[in-house]
Amino acid sequence: MSLDSPARGCRDTPVLKERGQREVFCGLTGIIWLHRKMQDAFFLVVGSRTCAHLLQSAAGVMIFAEPRFGTAILEEKDLAGLADANTELDREVARLLTRRPDIKQLFLVGSCPSEVIKLDLARAAERLTTLHAPHVPVYNYSGSGIETTFTQGEDACLAAMVPTLAATKARDLLVVGALPDVVEDQCLSLLAQLGIGPVRMLPARRATDLPAVGPETVFALVQPFLGDTHAALIRRGARHLPAAFPFGEEGTTLWLWAVAQEFGISRAHFDAVTAAPRARAAKAVAAHAETLNGKSVFFFPDSQLEIPLARFLARECGMTPLEVGTPFLHAAITGPDLDLLPEGPVISEGQDVDRQLDRQHAARPDLTVCGLGLANPLEAKGHTTKWAIELVFTPVHFYEQAGDLAALFSRPLRRKALLTAPIFRPEISRGPGQSPGGQP
Amino acid sequence: MKLTLWTYEGPPHVGAMRVATGMTGLHYVLHAPQGDTYADLLFTMIERRNHRPPVTYTTFQARDLGADTANLFKDAARDAYARFTPQAMIVGASCTAELIQDDPGGLAGALDLPCPVIPLDLPSYQRKENFGADETFHQLCRALAKPMPRTEQITCNILGATALGFRHRDDVAEITKLLGLMGISVNVAAPLGASPADIARMGQAHFNVLLYPETGESAARWLERACVQPYTKCVPIGVGATRDFLHEVAALTGLSPQVDESALRLPWWSASVDSTYLTGKRVFLFGDATHVIAAARIAATEIGFEVVGMGCYNREFARPMRAAAKAYGLEALISDDYLEVEDAIAAAAPELILGTQQERHIGKRLGIPCAVISSPVHVQDFPARYSPQMGFEGANVIFDTWIHPLVMGLEEHLLTMFREDFEFHSDAGPSHHGGKADLREMAEDAPLADAARGALPPGFASPRDISGQKMEAEAPPLPASPVWQALAERELKKIPFFVRGKAKRNTEAYASEQGVAEISVETLYEAKAHYAR
């Protein structure tokens, strides 16, 4: 709100829809942050060695000694008889829950192979819930690459939990989307200062903290990739508060204001609560905007955060988006951000990576946001890149992280400037009149 | 179905990618769903490659399954040829595509592409990454290599190096140099660095040097039959193995095995008095069979360690692994279950682990130093500097690498003498490693009264909590464990952490054996004398 809306936004921009080779992760990857967020949950992928290898590679190869996720690897004999596969699954789950009595919720996560052989994990989850009741509810969702792209895994996971949430008639605010703990605390603190509550989170840190949902529930999304969860909550009677996403000073203010209005908070009180953090955020962003201002940016599709982030970079950092690629475009969810994103960039959905690389090459952007598979090859060709996965693995939401978010984009540009600066040749010499003893 | 937390090997199509990415002029069309592209980052991030792996993924989705995935494959293969114009193409399926049975080989064959197209049959639900690499290289040789006239000078091919291999880049350079000292030049090194055209002229070489049996043995065997090229069986890792290798090459070529060894330093580094502290240190080895078997020989005969456990994750090499372990009086651990390996290491209570990235984590958990000797490895094991494992320079590198995680000899003595120093204590870690030392409370030493009441003093038995509990929990329980007297417990605590676990086990075993119910300070020292070597 510090800036006026653009004359024309991108909501009506025709979308370039592409299909072909996609250089993105599948939905299983979400497990990497979800298993840290839900501290009493275990994620059991039913899949192949490829799934297990993906998880450990995406996690930077084994950053945890014994993680709260694992893969039940399908073997030849599981493919031959599905009945046996179910028996084997029950056995592995029983063994796991005995070994880890601290586990209070279990997610059976479907994969490409389990989908193709039509292993019914929904049925399995029902069966296992009965078997291990009341201690461990067993959920099921698909993180397969044939159905989900990267962050859609979190969407599928949360959507699977919604139907089992308790019913309520209370007028609660539900904040939906996994946030780093520090950011979640900041969000709750801001809402409390505004006088908004009670506030519940989905996902919750522990099974016992799971929210209830009902016709009086209003919910706000903090992640733009939660399309199915959005639909599932509406089916439970909850109402969505559409808003720009809380990235940067402007996004955070718009998001909070949408919630504040719903709860009848006065503008004066709102301004009083937000003035100081807004000023801090603006100041922190300004330090990086110096580097970013006037530079162009090109987004390859990755996390679905691309639209809100392009809005942040365009409006708060002075950058010019050339193409904003996203795996999926939920116009209903990212509409407020599309309205604010000044017209100009190509908005593309889906991917044909070789053709998109051709476009990127022709556009010669100052900064390219892309996945890990593309970043080094593009750097080697002289492009400056920001790897997109860091945007998902770093606290970037709300006021106090606005500067950190801008820094993620400015650091690659500063690094390039440092490494290509005019050569500095330090002189290493004692000089003529000096000798080791210090006597001329 | 088998629950897996971490895998030592990826699926077989990742092995095929290691071959394709190491080569030039070859393209891989992989029938696979979205998400399998994660494998690109193994090469671009972990190995820091500056180009994309030459792989086209067909990227089928759920909605394609009912429709026409076969056409999707054909379009992808045609487009890939048009865009990249490779000298040859390999085609295959990932685990999911294997289930939908589209026959990539047949489909690609029907396209009549103007380059050789080599189908790969890599069973994803039975085999793993090394098999995939080995089989892919084998098929490339079958399709492209032919018997041909030998080169006038004596030449050889170097087989088995791939992309993402542990130090493959530098091993090939080191062995090329070593062979050069004998007067042998390299005809083709493959797959790493070769093109399909290079593979086609492999038949010119007089013999083959097989560096990595895991990824090159099938090709070596096929070339032996088809091109009548003998291949070397000795893998030149370590001083002894390198000399054996030179003799093997000499026997094949009639050249002299005597080469300049002036740059070889390992033997003197081991013999110099500072290395006395290495003598008899207990080491546990785990990784791929080739590297573990070679490392055990170095550990036992070139540094003077005691090998207390060894094993490999690749079952294909279980036989030679078991035979090698037997030579050290051990039973080999053949397993790709990370937790099983962790249990075995905890039970053996070694002072040093030589393993993979996985064992590095186990070491961290158990509080045991670890050096990396085998794939899988992480980004820090793709160093910028020249750092081979093979040949004489490789032996030098290995000495430095293995010794680095240990506490230095004189430091070890000082810790033993003054272990209660609040800054310089056994929990602080080796002094040449940064960022580890955590200062203790100066008065942390447990009062005797506590120990007398039966409470273990803090930090008892192991330097780090997790590892301590772990070691206690995982070690096989001794029948009717003797009780430690308070003074004996205090005495035990004075033993530096890197030998404390062993001392505790030995003392308890000794006490049980002698029927001693209560361990006194005397029992501790009697046990020490009993186990003295």
Last residue of a domain, one of A240, A269, A298: A269
Residue A119 domain flag: yes
pLDDT band at B468 (very low <50, low <70, confident <90, very high): very low
Q: Do A146 and B126 touch (CB under 8 A)?
A: no
Q: Where in chain B is the domain with CATH 3.40.50.1980?
A: 12-129, 145-253, 266-403
Q: Which of A23, A29, A61 sits opposite B378 (nearest CB)?
A: A61
Task: Identify whether residues A59 and A102 lie together within a single domain.
Answer: yes
Task: Identify whether residues A127 and A51 lie together within a single domain.
Answer: yes
Q: How far is A38 from chain B (nearest CA, A)?
A: 18
Task: Tell me whether residue B171 is one of the annotated catalytic residues.
Answer: no
Domain B448-530 has CATH 1.10.287.1060: no
pLDDT at B367: 86
pLDDT at B68: 87
pLDDT at A435: 58
Residue A382 domain flag: yes
**Which range marks the domain in which residue A191 is found?**
173-269
pLDDT at B300: 97
State whether the Cα torsion A90-A92-A95-A96 is positive or negative. negative
Low-confidence ranges of chain A (pLDDT < 70): 1-3, 59-66, 82-83, 433-440
Q: Where in chain B is the domain with CATH 1.10.8.550?
A: 448-530
Residue A278 domain flag: no
Task: Identify whether residues A298 and A413 lie together within a single domain.
Answer: yes
Residue A35 domain flag: yes
Best interface-test mutation with B: which of A35, A53, A99, A117 has the largest number of B CBs within 10 A? A53
A174, A200 in Cβ contact below 8 A? yes
Tokens of B191: 């797959």
3-class DSSP state of B86: coil
Task: Identify whether residues A101 and A31 lie together within a single domain.
Answer: yes
- The CA–CA distances, whole Å, from A185 to A32, A115, A271, B45, B271 equal 21, 38, 20, 33, 59
pLDDT at B332: 98
Last residue of a domain, one of A241, A269, A297: A269
Q: Which class is domain B145-253?
A: alpha beta
Q: Do B60 and A67 touch (CB under 8 A)?
A: no
ipTM of the shown complex: 0.91
Q: Is the pLDDT of residue B473 over 90?
A: no
Q: Which class is domain B266-403?
A: alpha beta
Reference B278, options B405, B437, B389; nearest CA is B405
- The CA–CA distances, whole Å, from A440 to A428, A434, B86 equal 18, 5, 69
Residue A8 domain flag: no
Look up the CATH number of the domain holding residue A186.
3.40.50.1980
Task: Identify whether residues A298 and A396 lie together within a single domain.
Answer: yes
Task: Identify whether residues A390 and A298 lie together within a single domain.
Answer: yes
Q: How far is A220 from chain B (nearest CA, A)?
A: 29
The stretch B70-99 carries a mean pLDDT of 96
pLDDT band at B529 (very low <50, low <70, confident <90, very high): confident
pLDDT at A63: 57
The stretch B103-114 carries a mean pLDDT of 94
Neighbours of A40 (CB within 10 A): 18
Residue A163 domain flag: no
B474 touches chain A (CB under 8 A): no
Distance in angstroms (rounded) separating the CA atoms of residues A277 and A120: 49
Q: Which of B4, B37, B42 sits opposite A71 (nearest CB)?
A: B4
Task: Identify whether residues A246 and A329 lie together within a single domain.
Answer: no
Domain B12-129 has CATH 4.10.80.40: no
Last residue of a domain, one of A114, A132, A148: A148
Backbone angles phi, psi at A175, to 5 degrees: -100, 120
pLDDT at A429: 81
B315 touches chain A (CB under 8 A): no
Task: Identify whether residues A306 and A189 lie together within a single domain.
Answer: no
Q: What is the average pLDDT score of chain B? A: 88
Q: Which pTM does this prediction carry? A: 0.89
Reference A19, options A373, A344, A325, A375; nearest CA is A325
For residue B338, the one-letter residue type is Y
**B316: CB partners within 8 A, 6+ apart:** B130, B131, B214, B289
Residue A179 domain flag: yes
Distance in angstroms (rounded) separating the CA atoms of residues A395 and A402: 9
Better-scored residue on pLDDT, B100 or B470: B100
Q: How many domains does chain A have?
A: 3
Q: Do A92 and B51 touch (CB under 8 A)?
A: no
pLDDT at B470: 37
Kindly name the residue from B68, B121, B274, B400 that is annotated as catalytic: B274
Residue A4 domain flag: no
Local structure of residue B374 (DSSP, 8 states): S
